[in-house]
Every structure is written in C-alpha cells, then in structure tokens.
Amino acid sequence: MTIASGVQAPDMAAWPPLPPHCAAAGHALVQWVATADTDRSRLCVLRGGRASGKSHLLAWFLIGAASHPSTTAHATVPAQGLITDAVAWEMGRQLGYGPVPAHRLLVRIAADQRPLLLLLPDLHLAGRGPAGQPAASPQAILGNLLLPLLALPHVRVIAETGESGLLADQEHDVVDLGPSPFPGAAPPADGAPDFVALRGSVPATPDGRPIWAQASRPVREGILDAALEEQDGKAISSLLADPGFLIHGSAAAITAALRTPEIAAPTGLRPIWERAAPQLSSIEHDDVTRAALLQAAALGTSPALSEYLRPLAKQHVWTATWAQHGLPVSAQCQIPGNDAPLVTADPLGRLSTHNSGTGQRNGTLSSPTGIRPAGIAAADRGALLVLDEDGPLHVLASDDEDTAATVLGNIADHHGQTLLGAGNLTPTALGSCPQSPLAAVGDSSGAVHVWSLTTYQPAPRSRRLHSVPVSAVACTQDASEGMTFVFSSGFDGTIRLWETSQEPMDSPIDQRPAVVTALAAAITAAGPVLAAAWNDGELHLWHISSGKAEVLPLLYRCSALALSAGGQLMVGGPDGMYAVQLRLDRLSN
C-alpha cells in the first residue's frame, strides 16, 4: 500500500489482538485508512450482518488508530437515532468548530482543508421522528451531509451500513464481515415498552407530576420515541409541554419531533428549541446548564417557560436577564458610567442604543454610509470610535469641535497614517473599558495600543503581544489600585494579559485550537473579571486575581461582548443578543 510521503506505515503488531474472524477485515480497514492513493475511493463501507463483529472492529480500530498519524480518526459520530443536524452538531464539536448545523459544518470543513478521516458507525440505523418523515431515514443524512462531505477532496469517510445496501450506488471500497454468524436465527424481539409502561416507571410527586430528574436514562431517551411510534398525540403533547422533560429528555428525540410540522407543540417552543438544541445535544451539560440555556432561549418568546425555569437556572454560573433574539449584532460597547446605555451595530452598519438593563432599543445614532462596524469604543454618548471591518477607524461625534471628538480624531489619524505608511499595520480589533474612557486597538502585527478617549496623547502605550494579528481586545481600569489591565487574543488561539505599568506576561493565560471572537473585562465586586467568547461555542470566564476559570456554553454565535461592573455580561452576534447575570461569588470562591 502507498503511505503518505514522509509517514512511516503503522505497526499492526502494536495494536490489540483481533478475533480470528475479524483479522482479515481489520487489516483491510487499516490498509484503506493508511493508503494515500488518490485513485482510491475516499469512502469505505463497513458491511456485515447482526453480531458479525462490526462494532468490535470499529472499537478495535479506534483504540489503535490514534497511535499513528496516518490512521488518526478526527471525528467519530455514532449515527443511530440521529437526524442530520444532530450528526453535524457532534461532528462539529469533535472537529473544534462547536455544535454547528450541517450547512455551516460543510462551509467550515471546506475552508479548513486539513485532511480529515470521519467515522459514522451505525449509519444504517440513523434517523429519528415519526415514520414516513424524511428525518426518520438515513437517506436524509446522506443527501444533506455525507455526500456533500465526500465531494470535498480532503475528506475520507468510514460508514457502517450493516446489510442495508446503503451507499451501494456510490463509489466506495468495502470491508465486509459477512453475514450473521447465527444463520437462521431470528433477530431479537423488539420488546420495547410502550408509552404507558415507560411513563409509569417515572417517579412522581404526590399530585402526579413526573420527576424526570429521577427517571432512568433509558426512559428519558426512549419515552418520546414510544409516543411517536404509537402515534399518541396526547402523550406527545404532554411531553413537549412539560419543562422538566425538555430539560431531562432526549435532545435528539425532541429535535426530531419538533422538526415535524404535523406535531402540535406549545406556542413558541419551536424557535426556542432551535436556539438551544445545538448546545442541549451535548451529553456533557448537566441539568442546571440545560435549564440555563433553555431559560435564556425562552426569554422574549415564552415568559411562562422562562420563569418556570428561572429557579433552576439561577443555580448556574449565569442566568439570563433579557434577550433580543433575531436582532443581529456585529459590534457593541457600553458607554462609560453607571446604568449607561449599550451601543450596538448591526451587520449593515446601523447604530442603535439600548437600555442595558432590559435590552430594549431606545434610540438610533447617525451612521456614516459604507461603514460596517467590527468594534466600537465610546468616550461619551456623543463621541464614538468605530472600527470598520476593513480596518480603518472612524469618528462619530455629535459635535466635531468637542474635546472628545478631537481626541478620537487624533486616534483615527494615528492609525490611518500607520495603515498607509511603510508598516501597513491594519487595525484588526477595538475594545473599550466599561469604567473609564479608555480604548485598546489591536493590529495585524499582533501589537496592542492603549488610548485615552478624553485626553490628548501624541502616541499610545503599545506592546506587541502576539506574533499574529489580534482577533479581539478589551481593557479595564482599577482606579483604586492604579492599574490598567489589557487583554488581547490572537488568531493563534492565545489570550494574553498586559498590566500597563509592567511588561506583559511572558506566557498566555490561555491557548486553545480555536479563535476568540470577542473579549470583555470589568472590575467587579469580586475583582477583575475577563470574559472570552470562542468560535467553537464556548464562553470562558476568568477571575484574574485567583486565576479561577469557568468554561460555559454560549447560546449562539458571539461577535461582541460587554461586561458591566455589576457582573452583567451582554452577548451579541448574528443570531441576536442577550444578557446574563454572572454569579461573581462562584467565580471568586
């Protein structure tokens, strides 16, 4: 076999032993994976009858595969009982993109270009929801995800198809374990309990309400499927209207049911679930986290559901306080001062002000034509510094003769001259300070520049914190200690800290195989706190003094953060904006 240039062939002797009847198939599978022959199909179909050893073979392969670069599997998603987006969510997590829907996963993988090996065990058992619906069949995953993936030249796939004949019409190699070793034996009886039996096994309160937290995992996973199988509309409706089941039930089953238009659902539940489902599908989130996500998704859509979930959600590190779902945000900042408004920009460049306590829009600002803001910093209500997505800084001022307007003009001119000069240093990030009229500008060289927005400076305080362009920047000032903290992230996945009276820290405070899309920092009652949103759907919170960190899920994509001294974190992105109240005591203790 042909192995990629410079890569030594894997030593099969180092892998675990295989049962004799699987040995030939195991060697054939490894040979297909390790072969870098462009004339060979990029799809390998694993076939075999019931109990022929398919699952054992894949488990064996995964145990040994990571030991050699030519056989490394980059994502393995057991497809049984999953619809297309559920497969994409899990595949995106494993590839480092976060839980993205199928169409966005395809875009990310197409842009990634790294060679990928993807495994789809139990593809023939994929599908969920009412029989007869497209999502109930594996064919939906083929048409919407698998075949488009195979159209990308750097993607290879191993798909388990049993004896279904699935993918037989596609160009492929085959590893076949043969028919069932028990010929003539009938498949095991289904024996699945019906809805009534499953519902009867769920512990209940004295007044008969189910206690889903005490139900067994098989019951929580299978009870909606049983109701759908029996076409029991009353049972289906009772489950979808039960907030406890939405928290504890199978996210895959609920998603499939709500994707079926014929199924009646409580008012507003479908858009709520679509917002939260990608994160709710993760098995890593506990019940409190699921409640917090669902409560945030319900704000502004279903007040009753949101309030019902609030007591449990308040046990989380954050609890949502308001939401403006569907209101896209490309940049935002809070004007310095107590209870000051939030300034936001949408993708078309339109600027608005919002009540920071409720999220309600309370005004609009004049926006120059042709500017698409990627960052905003405010000296006061009438003087803004805006970073255009293409690099230049612009000044928006109600009074061009005002001192703040003059100072902002100097900042914009300074970076404009640098951009046009020999250095050609493009501003790539702009961040502000919630307590003081300060701003930080990150540029394409990896340098960060700190400016006062109200006092003239001939030049900023500057340090080069990264060796790659800056993706996000934030600053905050502790007046009582005389310290200014600057935080920046680079496109290499690092976050760095610079207290401006000293040299920057030698080591990053974090580094991950992802990109920070937004930063925000504030001096709170618990001390300085930093929030970072990553492009894989994670939110990281740091208590700077102690170094304690929390890793939390974002409800949806984030392009802008703002953090108040009171611990309210405002999250904005292409899918909308929402605010959460942080439990500062959890961060500092």
Measured between alpha carbons, how far is 178 from 22 in angstroms, rounded to an integer? 10
Comparing 8-22, 262-276, 361-375, which segment has the lowest mean pLDDT? 8-22
Comparing 24-33, 154-163, 184-193, 294-303, which segment has the lowest mean pLDDT? 184-193
Ranges of each domain in the chain: 12-176, 195-316, 322-588
Residues 6+ apart with CB under 8 A from 308: 243
| Digit-coded pLDDT (tens) for 510-556 | 999 999 999 999 999 999 999 999 999 999 999 998 989 999 999 99
**Other C-beta atoms lying within 10 Å of the C-beta of residue 447:** 20
CB-neighbour burial class of residue 456 (10 A; exposed 0-12, middle 13-18, buried 19+): exposed
* Beta carbons of 341 and 362 less than 8 angstroms apart: yes
Q: Where are the beta strands (DSSP E) in 165-268?
A: 173-176
Indicate whether 5 pLDDT > 50: no
Indicate whether 188 pLDDT > 70: no
Indicate whether 187 pLDDT > 60: no
| Digit-coded pLDDT (tens) for 71-87 | 999 999 999 999 999 99
* The CATH fold of domain 322-588: Methylamine Dehydrogenase; Chain H (2.130.10)
Closest residue by Cα to residue 1 from 27, 26, 37: 37
**Helices and strands: H and E segment counts in the chain:** 16, 28
The tokens describing 167, both together, are: 């993918």
Measured between alpha carbons, how far is 368 from 525 in angstroms, rounded to an integer? 38
Distances in Å between the alpha carbon of 358 and those of 124, 309, 315, 518, 568?
48, 19, 21, 22, 11
% of the chain at pLDDT higher than 70: 95
Measured between alpha carbons, how far is 16 from 378 in angstroms, rounded to an integer? 62
How much is the pLDDT for 420? 64
Q: Please give the DSSP secondary-structure letter assigned to residue 455.
A: S
Measured between alpha carbons, how far is 386 from 365 in angstroms, rounded to an integer? 12
Indicate whether 1 pLDDT > 50: no
Measured between alpha carbons, how far is 362 from 552 in angstroms, rounded to an integer? 31
| Digit-coded pLDDT (tens) for 104-160 | 999 999 999 899 999 999 999 999 999 888 899 999 999 999 999 999 999 999 999
Average pLDDT over every residue of 241-253: 96
How much is the pLDDT for 6? 45
Per-residue confidence band for 4, with pLDDT thresholds at 50, 70 and 90: very low
Distances in Å between the alpha carbon of 519 and those of 67, 335, 487?
37, 16, 8
Q: Which strands sit side by side in the sheet containing 470-478, from one edge to the other? A: 470-478, 483-490, 494-499, 510-511
The 3-state DSSP composition of the chain as helix, strand, coil percent (nearest 5) reads: 30, 30, 40
How much is the pLDDT for 336? 81
| Digit-coded pLDDT (tens) for 364-395 | 988 777 889 999 999 888 889 999 998 889 99
Per-residue confidence band for 190, with pLDDT thresholds at 50, 70 and 90: low
Measured between alpha carbons, how far is 290 from 226 in angstroms, rounded to an integer? 23
How much is the pLDDT for 462? 95
How much is the pLDDT for 417? 84
% of the chain at pLDDT higher than 90: 77
Indicate whether 242 pLDDT > 90: yes
Indicate whether 2 pLDDT > 60: no
* The CATH fold of domain 12-176: Rossmann fold (3.40.50)
Per-residue confidence band for 3, with pLDDT thresholds at 50, 70 and 90: very low
Indicate whether 422 pLDDT > 60: no
Measured between alpha carbons, how far is 322 from 22 in angstroms, rounded to an integer? 57
| Digit-coded pLDDT (tens) for 556-572 | 999 999 999 999 999 99
Q: Strands 470-478, 427-432: parallel, antiparallel or unpaired by DSSP?
A: unpaired
pTM of the entire structure?
Answer: 0.92
